[in-house]
Amino acid sequence: MLKKRKKGYFVFGLLITAFIMAYGSLDPQVAVAQTSVPTTAASYDVVVIGSEIQGVLLAREAKNLGLKVMILDPRSKPGGELIQGQMFFLDDVNDNKKRSLVQGEIKNLFTAYKAGSIRKKEDFEKYFNKVIKGIPLKSGIVIDAVATVPSNKDKALKTLTYHTKDGTQTTIQSKYWVENTDFNALSSHLQVKRIPGMESIYKGKQADYMAATYMLNFKNVDWNRLHQAILEDYPLTNVRNKYGPNTYVDWNFATGFSNITNKFKADNSDLKLRGLNATYQKNGQVIINGLLIYNVNPADPKSVQSAITKARAAAPSILAFLRSNIPGFSKAELNGFPEYLYIRDYNRHETNYVLEYSDLMNGTMFWDNVSIGGYSIDLQGTKTIPTGIGFGKPDRYGLPLRSFELKSYDNVLVVGKNVGANIKAYGSARIMPTTALAAQTIGIILGKESKRLADLTPADFERIHKYLEKDYKIILKK
């Protein structure tokens, strides 16, 4: 009996040894999950968590260059803030000489948007579907566990286990993983350090975030009347004295009117109607980015649904207010509702380089630039500081690859609003065309370079920047 037990212990020991050789010394908090990792796990080159447009652009380039790619989306439908949140007011990015800094694939969207051929929901959906076409995607997944292993630099994410709506559980492995959600679906599992947020502006002790927005759709708007009314109040200084700072209307877009909207009193203290960012979608249809919602936790479905419910309940009173106070809205009607929110800000985690305010204002260019920014430093309001704060307008500055590499992991990337930046720098770096360019650039580099991203050198990036400019018209220097 003793000999049999010894033999059993010996076999068990061999199994444990083989497991450790395969997966390394594991973190205690994920060790239980890792003991069930099957050896037949499907393997990918790049797995993107979430279907925000930035991660889709990364996946698209990687796939086009021959990598095996998968998108796993925790949301029930793809498209994130752009499609489900209907964030159809697109902020341009320019340097201080008014030269556009929008580059790469996302420039096609912006060009069509400015020209008027992409304005309505179906237009944006058609664009998104074209970009994501051919990329494998699973929606409605839930991450159950992750497994990490030691690496040359620090550690690497080895496998991820998730389940789908029908309860089917799957474990996969990948060379690279990409956090592409607005609620840390992946990075919340990785024991990483949060970058201080809005609370650092006023030295608060609790984590605080910029307000979310619920986009409001209207029909039967007389845009010509709105445009004419503002022209009648020219010069522009008089317009802004009357309606508020940044008030401007042309044939396609309108901004400002805060002197009017500040008079709107919502029934719910979590709602605020700020100055309007409105896009004319043609045929009397208008979409407005202006209804702020405080205290939204995008990681909590109940919090998200509560915010949507509050916003929809307030929409009729906002309509009545606009009818009475904004030229051209006297006969306006509501025109449907988005299924999701525009989330500006949530937890961001330390990356290999965290962008600083001084980097932006000094126009710092990095040896490993993957994008160029230049948007005004715009921190939207929180419940504590409801009017928001601006910190100036940088010229053009670089965003390094290191600000998209999650610290302590040599194979986890963050894109979109997860960019590594302190809160002031984030006020500019968060803008979609800036992070979209970074994501696309990273996808190209993943597909073209044989080295691990963590091993790329300044000499490598001199070569990378040359082929990005030659082959993709992406310029990442002064």
Within 215-344, residue ranges assigned H as helices are 223-232, 236-243, 258-261, 301-325
Q: Could you tell me the pLDDT band of residue 40, with boundaries at 50, 70 and 90?
A: low
Closest CA to 258 of 349, 386, 134: 386
Amino acid present at 408: S
Report pLDDT for 317.
98
Q: How many helices (H) and strands (E) does the chain have?
A: 14, 17
Q: What is the mean pLDDT of residues 54-61?
A: 98
In angstroms, the CA 182 to CA 142 distance is 15
Rounded CA separation 195/178 (Å): 18
User: Could you give all domains of the chain from N- to C-terminal order, each with its CATH number?
Assistant: 1-27 (no CATH), 36-194+347-478 (3.50.50.60), 212-334 (no CATH)
Rounded to the nearest integer, the mean pLDDT of the chain is 92
- Tally of CA atoms within 13 A in the half-sphere of 81 that contains its CB: 26
Is the predicted pLDDT of residue 316 greater than 70, yes or no? yes
Least confident of 32-36, 311-315, 376-380: 32-36
How many other CB atoms are found less than 10 A from the CB of residue 347? 19
Alpha-carbon distance of 393 to 356, in angstroms, equals 14
Q: What is the mean pLDDT of residues 419-439?
A: 98
Nearest to 335 by CA among 88, 32, 19: 88
3-state SS class at 46: strand
Share of the chain above pLDDT 70, in %: 92
Residues 6+ apart with CB under 8 A from 307: 212, 214, 270, 293, 296, 341
Q: What is the pLDDT of residues 132-191, one digit of tens each?
A: 999 999 999 999 999 999 988 789 999 999 999 999 999 999 999 999 999 999 999 999
pLDDT in tens, 226-266: 999 999 999 999 999 999 999 999 999 999 999 999 999 99
